[in-house]
Structure 1
């Protein structure tokens, strides 16, 4: 089921493939987080491939803070974008920034396309916001779970808690195939967490 990382420490990924500027980028991200009043908790887990649950997601600022946390942890965070974002002369830049494009006109659905992307990469940490929207919602879409199952990768629990001003890497969650049970287990990590707009994020039992 679950194996939670110690939260007292905040060890980054042991490898950083960004070359000589990796150390400098990590320091910049640490400074950016500090100036924003954020702290990080939890060690970065071992898997090179995983779906990272990015929640709560109630504001465009969430992505900026998560990217900064990824830089602190020496991780290149990837995200799903429309194919149109990369179908132009500067598409390489969008890919470099982390976009994994989805072609909505393709025969394969989004989950299958992400599974192929995982199979083609030796390292891929894919951030997915399970709410699927920045609007108020109590329902999580199952895409993050189905991608993890299809690609045979674990979930990384990340909690962007505006209440405590903390980005917490709570550890790895190995899915079992029982969606309802796993969803309850995952959502428990977010109990008490607050989004930037607290009224848009509610993990209380229904």
Structure 2
């Protein structure tokens, strides 16, 4: 087990969860968490982050940051507000920050739930994938597997920039991982060009 908060690990154990993690393969990268089907994913994720003592940034919808107290807390635990109407600018900005972190050998990992919602969707949002491609960093594929009550944080891949190839690999790695509401797990694919939402 990687060093971190003993209290956070104890709380996870109280809820019946364990962590399967072998560390990060680089100082920069993107983690995609799938499937995201429950509000419980967030507290389990925060406890996991504290348990591992990993410095992970995460995108969250900007409305969550409007409350002064809750917004301050969200930033303290690594939250970065995202205006969903201006997501493309956020991708370029984040990729630039990650490239700068690489040049300075600084730690910068972004963690995202690419489905973008807890309900069923027929494609992933593309932002985190494009950050990884543009910044040329590894992608971690993590899961809250409710079937085994395991936070799985073991699989890291290099992306090719060819979405069909990369998403076929993601689907193979993530096969069998079960969210709290299995029927709400989205399809592991990007929306095709010109495809309607």
Q: TM-score if structure 2 supplies the norm length?
A: 0.80
Higher helix share: 2
2:87 aligned with 1:113: no
| Greater Cα offset, 96-105 or 161-170 | 96-105
| Displacement of 1:50 | 1.0
1:170-200 per-position Cα deviation (integer Å, ceiling 9, x unaligned): 2211101111111110121221111111111
**Partner of 2:51 in structure 1?**
72
1:106-131 per-position Cα deviation (integer Å, ceiling 9, x unaligned): 79612112113324542122111111
| Displacement of 1:80 | 1.2
Q: Distance in 1 between matches of 2:10 and 2:87?
A: 44
1:54-91 per-position Cα deviation (integer Å, ceiling 9, x unaligned): 11101121011112112222102211135566678666
Question: How many equivalent residue pairs?
Answer: 184
Quick one: which of 109, 124, 129 aligns to 1:140?
124
Q: Distance in 2 between matches of 1:69 and 1:183?
A: 25
User: Unpaired runs of 5+ in structure 2?
Assistant: 190-197
Q: Distance in 1 between matches of 2:19 and 2:85?
A: 39
User: Unpaired runs of 5+ in structure 1?
Assistant: 1-10, 13-22
Equivalent runs, 1:25-104 vs 2, <5 Å: 26-82=5-61, 93-102=73-82
Contact residue 53 and residue 128 of structure 1 kept, 8 A: yes
What RMSD over aligned residues (CA atoms) do the two structures have, in Å? 2.8
Contact residue 41 and residue 166 of structure 1 kept, 8 A: yes
